[in-house]
Amino acid sequence: MTESSWHDALDLAVPELAAPPDMLPRLEHAVRVHRRRRRGAAAGSALLVAAVVVSAVLAPGLWRQGGKAQPATGSGPTASRPAPTTSAAHPVLITTPCQAADDPMGTVPATKPLAADFKPTQAFLCVDSSRAYPGDGSWSVLLGQRLTGDLQPLIQALRHPAELTRLTPSAGPGGALGGSACAYSYLATPTIVLYDAAGTAVRAVFPRDDCGQPRPAVSAALAALHRTTIQVLKLRQEQTQGQTLSAKAAAKVGCQPQWKDEFSMGALASVLSTGAPISWQTAEVTACLFADNGSDPTVGDFVAGRRLTAADRSKYLVAIGLPGHRGTCAPDHREFVVFTSGNSYASVEVGGCWRVQRQDGGVGSLGSANGALVLELVGSLSG
């Protein structure tokens, strides 16, 4: 099959999928939980800052000016940098074309065409990507890529006023425009940075059509150019080294480095008091303790874990199958234990009303009486 027939075939093959009606309310709940935790963390940080300030006032000799002041970087996305005094015959060699502000997540695209009197001699892309750094976890990065080849088609496309974005409220991906449906996809576009011979930079808008799609002419012009990555700019850490090491420790005891914290998502707010016995097919059961990582309320990070003995299994698996609290539960936990056995699992909230989430979708609650047994297990795992 050709590329277009693959597209058509896949477009027919991939079914539509309706979102559950409570998805947005659950999302709102999760945002509230996150912000509440952030406020708690901020209060702790404020105390720490206050302590530092007090110590600096009381013992100024302990503090020293650590580095040079950084100049303010208040230039807008289309602002030019100061032009170095270099002759046009010897263009400035740009080695760091991208700035953190070029992260397309935070960039305001220019809304005017590339000026006719601006003569680009070098072109770059700033592309959002992700990279692992040994010893420093993984990071969201911005790749500065030099474009080489015939730049004229790209420059012409960027100069053409008709190519500018004209998004209309009724159009956009998935919308309808002039009776024809817009494609569902919305393609990310990198920031294009152009330099003239004097080293003046212009950040160019990536032209899109009325459906919000990148103009094919620009995409084609870019595709014809060769890209060489010359800059890797760290933006945000996605995973700390500690999380990387934690992943190794988790694997050692048969646990996952992270687990989804469904108790924080609000979907399990109402629970029944009735329990249900745990009857798993395999005898090997691992208990893994996860703690909320503070930055993402939907995820717990691995803390500790171990394989359960036969005596453990008879005690704890019975406990998590017993009935307990009935009613509504507010998110009131920082940790949860996940019991896994083959493809089966059950996760237990440590604290609050001790909810139990089972793989079959059942939601129960231990209540604090039976939760004490799980707390005993948590103590043995952490110890």
**What residues between 61 and 90 interact with another protein by CB under 8 A?**
none
State whether residue 312 is helix, strand or coil.
Answer: helix
What span, in angstroms and rounded, lies between the C-alpha atoms of 112 and 160? 10
Can you list the alpha helix ranges (DSSP code H) found in the chain? 3-13, 23-58, 152-159, 216-223, 241-252, 310-312, 318-319, 367-382
Closer to another protein by CB, 18 or 69: give it.
18
Q: Which two tokens stand for residue 43?
A: 């209060």
Binding string, residues 266-285; x marks residues near another protein by CB under 8 A? --------------------
Nearest to 355 by CA among 293, 267, 289, 292: 267
Burial of residue 237, with CB atoms counted within 10 A of its CB: 0-12 exposed, 13-18 middle, 19 or more buried: middle
Q: Which stretch binds another protein (CB under 8 A): 42-50, 196-204, 219-227, 309-317?
A: 219-227
Q: Which stretch binds another protein (CB under 8 A): 2-10, 84-92, 150-158, 316-324?
A: 2-10
Task: Give yes or no for residue 300 binding another protein (CB under 8 A).
Answer: no
State whether residue 92 is helix, strand or coil.
Answer: coil
Task: Give yes or no for residue 307 binding another protein (CB under 8 A).
Answer: no
Closer to another protein by CB, 340 or 370: give it.
340
Task: Give yes or no for residue 226 binding another protein (CB under 8 A).
Answer: no
Binding test (CB under 8 A) with another protein, winner from 82, 343, 360, 383: 343
Task: Give yes or no for residue 3 binding another protein (CB under 8 A).
Answer: yes
Closer to another protein by CB, 174 or 242: give it.
174
Task: Give yes or no for residue 37 binding another protein (CB under 8 A).
Answer: no
What is the size of the binding site for another protein (CB under 8 A)?
71
Q: Which of residues 159-178 bind another protein (CB under 8 A)?
A: 165, 167, 172-174
Burial of residue 320, with CB atoms counted within 10 A of its CB: 0-12 exposed, 13-18 middle, 19 or more buried: buried
Contacts of 61-70 spanning 24+ positions with Cβ under 8 A: none
Q: Which stretch binds another protein (CB under 8 A): 8-16, 46-54, 60-68, 148-156?
A: 8-16
